[in-house]
Every structure is written in structure tokens, then in C-alpha cells.
Chains A and B, each alone.
Chain A
Amino acid sequence: MSNPDTPDGTNKPARGHDDDDAVVVADGIAKTNEPVSSAVAEPGAATRRHEPHEPPRQHLPEKLYEARQKVHNKRIDGPFRRFKWLMMVITLGIYYVTPWIRWDRGPYAPDQAVLVDLAHRRFYMFGIEIWPQEFYFVAGLLIMAGIGLFLVTSAVGRAWCGYACPQTVWTDLFQHVDRFIDGDRNARMRLDAAPWTWGKVFRRGFKWAIYALIGLVTGGAWILYFADAPTLLRDFFAGEAAPVAYITVAILTLTTVTLGGFMREQVCIYMCPWPRIQSAMLDEKSLIVTYKDWRGEPRGSLKKAKKNPGEFGDCIDCTQCVQVCPTGIDIREGPQIGCITCALCIDACDKVMADIGRPRGLIDYATLEDCEREAAGEEPRSPWRTILHPRTIAYSLIWAGIGGAMLFALGVRSHTDISVSPDRNPPYMLMSDGSIRNSYTLKLRNMESRPRDMEIAIDGLPGGMMWTDTINRDEAASTQIFTVPADQTRTVRAYVVAPADVSARDFTFRITSQDPQRETDTAETRFDAPGESQ
């Protein structure tokens, strides 16, 4: 059961679950090319190195498990590879540089532009400061990220998977390390098969050390988002950082090396939920990387094609598209879950097509609709019509609407906040002079990064006076002024007393900042008293 046409001479067993999506493409193409579509329509028959005219092979599981076929992807150059380099530089650059951007917030707040300050429960992002009770902003950002993903997917397919997903970026990085240490595809395969000599031990040790270093730098950068970066970095190497920092870095180093260094495409195929969701979001109008089988099939080598002109398609079965694939799939089997649409196969195929003097685009970014159109000999539509269809426009509007609403809310939000919880046990208290007292716990929030005086006043409670745990009863008044420290919440226990003839009623605490802004917030609460409530 060996397949002579595969360069490594190994046989790939059937992987039916990889081919779930193949049926979809088969439906779209079935009208154009009977023999190919029938082969693809039987997805189980498609092995990774699929022979279209070979009858379905019988594969009996001999073991309880299937060993992973290690992916040794070949180096390729081309526009998409260069775009991938660019994306890697941008995404890694954002990740590593962001914690080092400074942002002056005055003496009372940290000067790190992006900081998740868990200890003080603050989230800083450039000019925006989020308090825990404003967490809906973060929820909004997550919703925008989700809809953004829908938008990108419906416009340009699984571009997230192909270029921006951390698993993709780091896998790419590790694959470059492989290439740098062990050489390109063939050298790596030779080395893999070679016995464990000291040279191989040294090479592997060196490579894994670099893996570990990349993992360490990855995990190390993550913790910088949670504390002042320069201080933390110094403390980290001085052994003075919090244990949680070391634990986090250790875990992230381990997971980076395991997932990016060793598991790679298995994460995309078995662990990640996104491919399932994204596949479900694709339709015949979405851009995907696709093999134009009506043009390529039947396949034949250059030699055969020369001998029998007109009998073979453009695909010369050189398997370059398979060799360069970072997830080790064969795109000629149609869309599949393992395809992250990174388009390196397009680079490889275009190069081969140029070499043998045929038009590029045998493998190309295209929508299924355009594939059908092209197969029928019509002109494909312009890329803009591909990207701008009702679904992408609807997603864009929703996305921009949420963003606009959040910006508006950010612009008008107050930096002064009061919340009140009344004591319920007992609800009211008779004082010796016959007046009625209620007790409240007030929380005064000053969200500015400077200390501010806040005036608290009682509205809607005639004769109401208040004193607190820091102001004596003989200084009771209808308003009190408190100093709230910069960027903090001050808890005050307030006793509100009203004359003996008061009846139960709702009233309001009003807080006003004693500065030029005079920001105001109110909190309604209840004053309880004996007798019928009003």
C-alpha cells in the first residue's frame, strides 16, 4: 500500500474527517467535470495525495491510534509569502512593542499605554480608563472583535486563520527555525529518518533551545501587559517578581513550545473551534483558496502531457502545493478544515505555471460562484463585487454602529459616581429626640487621576440632615464634602436623620465634584420611617 507518486514514499491513510467540506465544493463543481467531481464527492476515497482515477482503497485500522504525519513544508517565495512575512512582523511587533508604549496620566496613575491592572482593578488603554463597573466597554470590544471576525470572514474568507491567528504566526516562526537549523524540506526529512547520532542530538537540542527561547519571550511579553513593563522586567530577572509572574511565564512558555513547536496544524484541526465556526460562515460568495479542477484535471506529468497533447489538464501533479503547505493538506481535494487559506500553495503553483508556460491561477483565491462562472467560460467578477456584498455591508454597519455607540458612551461618561446601599436591619431608628434615623453605605467614585472634593447633598427629604462615621452628629448638615483620593472609591457610612413627623419616602443622594467640571451623579434610595409609607 505505498504510493509511488508521493515524494517521501509514505502512504497517507484516509482521513475522512478532513474531507467533510470537500462535499461542498464537489456540489459546486459537479456540473463541470464529471470524473473529478465523482472522485471528490466520495470524500473518504480522497487521501491527502489523492489519485483521481484510483479506485477507493480499503483502509483497515490496524492500530487503535493513528500516528501523526509530520509536516515538513518547503520554502517558497511569492506575493503571499511576502504578505505573510509582513503580517508576522506587524502582529509580533504589536505584541512585543505595545507594553513599552508610555502614556502620561499624571502622578496618580500608571504611565503605561496599555495596562490591565488587576490589583487595582483598572484597565488602561491609551486615553481610555475602564473601571470594573464599566466592564461593558470591554464586552463591547469583544463583541466588535467577534463581528469583525464575521466581517473579515464573509469578505475575504478565513484570512484570520491564514495570517493573523497567533497559532499561525508562531507556527510560521517555528517552521522558519526548523528551516534555519535543519535546512529545507528534504534535509529535514532526511534528518528525521536518520539515526540518533551526536550530531543529530546536538542539532535537536539547539533547535529545541531556540523553541524554548521563543516560548520564554512569548510568555514573558504577556505578563508585561499586567504590570509596569520596565519595573517588571527588572524584577523578573532579579528574582523579585511575584510568583504568579513566574508561573504565568512558565505556563505560557510551555504552551507556546508545545502548541507552536510540536502540535502545530493539529491545533487547527483538532483543538480549535474557529475553523468549524468559520467554515459555517462561508458561502459561495466567500473568497477561499481553491483548486480549479476543471482546468487542472486530469493530471499528468510534463512528459505524459507532451506525449499526448490535449489529453491532460494544467496540473502536472508536481505536488509543490502540498509540499509548501504549513498544515500538510492537499488543496486539490477541495476546501477542508485543515486549510488556513494562507495561500502559500498559490505562490508555489503560480511559480510552476510560470515555469511551464501556462497561465497562473490554477490554484487561486476565488469564490465558488466565480469558479462556476469561470468554468463556464464567463468573465469573473471584479474583486470589489466579491468583497462588497450585502452580508459584508450588513456586518460593517453593525460593527461601526457598536463602535460609534461605544465612542459616544466614552465621550459622555462621567468621572464621578455614587452608589448607595441602605441598611435594612433595622430599616429605621428612633432617636432620643424623636427624630428618625436611617443608615446608608455610600460609595463615592472619583475616576479622575487627581484627588477631588465631592459634595454630597440630600434631595427630596425635607429637614433631612446627615452625618457620617467621620463627621460628628453635632456637625450634621444637609450637605457634606468629602475628599476622594485620585482614581479611587471611598466608602462612607452615612446616617441620615429626619424630623419626627417624617414618613417613609424615596429620596436621592446627589454627588457634585467641587471643581470646574462640576460633574454630578445621583442615586435614588429609600428613607424608612414608622407608619404608613407615602
Chain B
Amino acid sequence: MANKHIDEATGTETVGHEWDGIEELNTPLPRWWLWTFYLTIVFAIGYVIAFPAWPMVDKATEGVLGWTSRSQLAKEIDVADQARESVREALARTPIERLPEDSPLMQQAVAGGGAAFRVNCVQCHGSGAAGNAELGYPNLNDDDWLWGGDLKAIEYTLTHGIRQAGDDETRTSQMPTFAGAFDGAQLDALVDHVLSLSGKGRSNPVGAQIYADNCVACHGTNGEGSREVGAPRLNDAIWLRGSSREAIKRQILNPRMGVMPKWEGRLDPVTIKMLAAYVHSLGGGEDFVEVAENPEVEVDEQP
């Protein structure tokens, strides 16, 4: 610099700029500060060589360490899978009705089932599993179960689905069509009776007779339904397809019946087991009641 400007008061050279009469002294830096600064530069160069850094046309430079966030993610997923393996093995070993006896395992099953539910089930049953009365997707939180609400029954439903074509073991029920069978007065009388079963309104003798002739076989004398054939209870407060007179009439004349996909083959048995545990945990799950098919044999097995 040709024009060195020396500050009179301090005798120090200034940097040569001036802002509103204020000048800056060219005071030297501490040496350790400077070395720290150089070290950061060295570090930056090393980093650029070692790791992906420069964006190119289709991807960034690769870096000599070969590190990528994708490979790191894959590695982390592998580790997580391995950590889960012991839990999955324990779940595969344990019959589902025995799960509640192992509280930690049950908790893990519920957590895993919750994750699987959010991927596979929320599309119909909703993220809170509250279903949809208009579209006939059952609410899974309540205590009304068409096919049984214990762990085993839920697992069976999940495995084989409902009215699932191509599965011999799927659960199937058929509500007959009564279109044209009753005239308007008869239909109104029948609806009166059906509503009275669940305590809404008074029974109607005509409707009761029609009900006795046509409906008792599946829905039971008092509308208690049947889980054997998947016939809904009519004497409770929960209506799968709506509780209005219109909705009930529609369901008598032109019944709609939903389809639940079978998950066997699409999800592995352990995931299905976890899903069953999750659905059971939503608040309406029933206790599993063991029915010994041949008690004598069991006694013989335990000397």
C-alpha cells in the first residue's frame, strides 16, 4: 500500500476505510486464532475429498470414503431389522391366544401392529380405526364384533378376509334380497319391529310376524345375531350401515355386503399376529375362551 495511514493516538496502521469518521485499526490477530482458522480450511479440504461434496449434473462427487446417506440408511435399517428379529421369532413361536400372558411381548406386538395398521388398514377403517358407518367399514374400537372379537377370531379374519374370492376358508355371510317380497306397509312394520329390538319404539305385531318368518334363522328371536354365520346383532345400539329407517329399509331390500381383503400372502403371519393384537387392544377386544375339543387327550398328555 502506498498510502499507509497511521492512527495518531495508537500509532497503529488503519485498514484504510472510513465510516462517518470512524476508522478501523489494523490490529493483528492472536496467533492461536489464526491457526484455528487455517485448521478449519484444512478440515474443509479433507472433508471435500473424503465425503460427497460437489454437486455434479446427476449426482454429487463420490468422496474417497464411499459414504452415502443412502447406504447409511440401508445399514441402519439392517441393524433395526436385526434388533427386531428376536421379537419376531418370539411372536412366531407364541400362539396368539397366549400373547397376553407375556406382557412385554404383547406390548411389542401392539406397537408393531399399530405401525402395520397405519400402512395397510387406515384406508378403510380410518387412522383411529373408527370405520365408516356410511360405507360399511366397521368400527374396530367398539365392542360389537360380527365374527368374534377375541385375538384368535381377529387373526382369522385378518388372515382369510371376509367374502374374499379365492379363499376356501374365508368368512362368508349372505343377507338375502327381499326386494319385492313386502309391500310398503309390511316393510314399515318390519322396520318398526327391528328398531324395537334395540329399544327404539314399540314392537309391531305384523312386523314381528314377518321377522319370525324371514329373519329369525340368522338374526335370532331377539335379534341377538349369530357369529357362526356372521349375522349382525339387531338388538344393540351399533348399526354397521346406519340406524335410520331409510338405511334399514335399504339394507332389507337391497342389502350391501362389504369385502375385507385376506392378508395371508400379502403380509407375513407375524405381522398379521401383531395387527390382530393391535386391533384387540383398541378397547373392544374380547377375552379368548378356550374350548377344549378333547379334554381327555389333554389330561393324558400330562402324566
Contact = CB atoms under 8 A, between A and B. Distances in A.
Given A423-B128, A426-B141, A429-B141, A45 B9 contact: yes
A176 B179 CA distance: 104
A152 B55 CA distance: 55
A64 B28 contact: yes
B237 A14 contact: no
Interface string A494-518: 0100001000000000000000000
Contacts of B34: 64-65
Interface string B263-303: 00000000000000000010100010000000000000000
Interface in B122-172: 126-128, 130, 139, 141-144
A65 B28 contact: yes
A333 B267 CA distance: 81
B238 interface: yes
Nearest to A436: B237
B13 interface: yes
Contacts of A121: none
B143 A431 contact: yes
B25 interface: yes
Contact of A61 (B9, B26, B199, B236): B26
A64 B28 CA distance: 6
A270 B13 CA distance: 22
Interface residues of B, number: 37
Q: Interface of chain A, helix or strand or loop or mixed?
A: loop
A63 interface: yes
Contacts of B3: none
A109 to B, nearest CB: 25
A58 interface: yes
Contacts of A42: 9-10
Contacts of B7: 44
A44 B236 contact: no
Given A14-B12, A16-B10, A59-B11, A432 B31 contact: no
Interface string A258-289: 00000100100010000000000000000000
B86 interface: no
B29 interface: yes
Interface string A12-48: 0111110000000000000000000000001111000
Contacts of B26: 61
Contact of A44 (B12, B28, B33, B198): B12
Contacts of A15: 27
A68 interface: yes
Contacts of B33: 65, 270
A434 B11 contact: no
A159 to B, nearest CB: 27
B233 interface: yes
Nearest to A473: B143
Nearest to B31: A65
A57 interface: yes
A67 B127 CA distance: 66
With a 10 A CB-CB cut-off, give which of B10, B12, B139 has the most chain A CB atoms: B10
A63 B30 contact: no
B27 A495 contact: no
Contact of B30 (A60, A66, A473): A66
Given A16-B27, A426-B141, A432-B236, A437 B11 contact: no
A42 B12 CA distance: 12
Interface string B5-47: 0111111110000000000011111111110000000000000
Given A425-B128, A426-B128, A432-B144, A57 B11 contact: yes
Interface of B: 4, 6-13, 25-34, 126-128, 130, 139, 141-144, 198-199, 233, 236-238, 281, 283, 287
The 6 A-B residue pairs with the shortest CB-CB distance, nearest first, are A44-B10, A425-B128, A432-B236, A434-B237, A426-B130, A66-B28
13 contacts: A16-B27, A45-B11, A56-B10, A58-B6, A61-B12, A64-B28, A65-B34, A266-B32, A425-B130, A426-B126, A430-B237, A432-B237, A433-B236
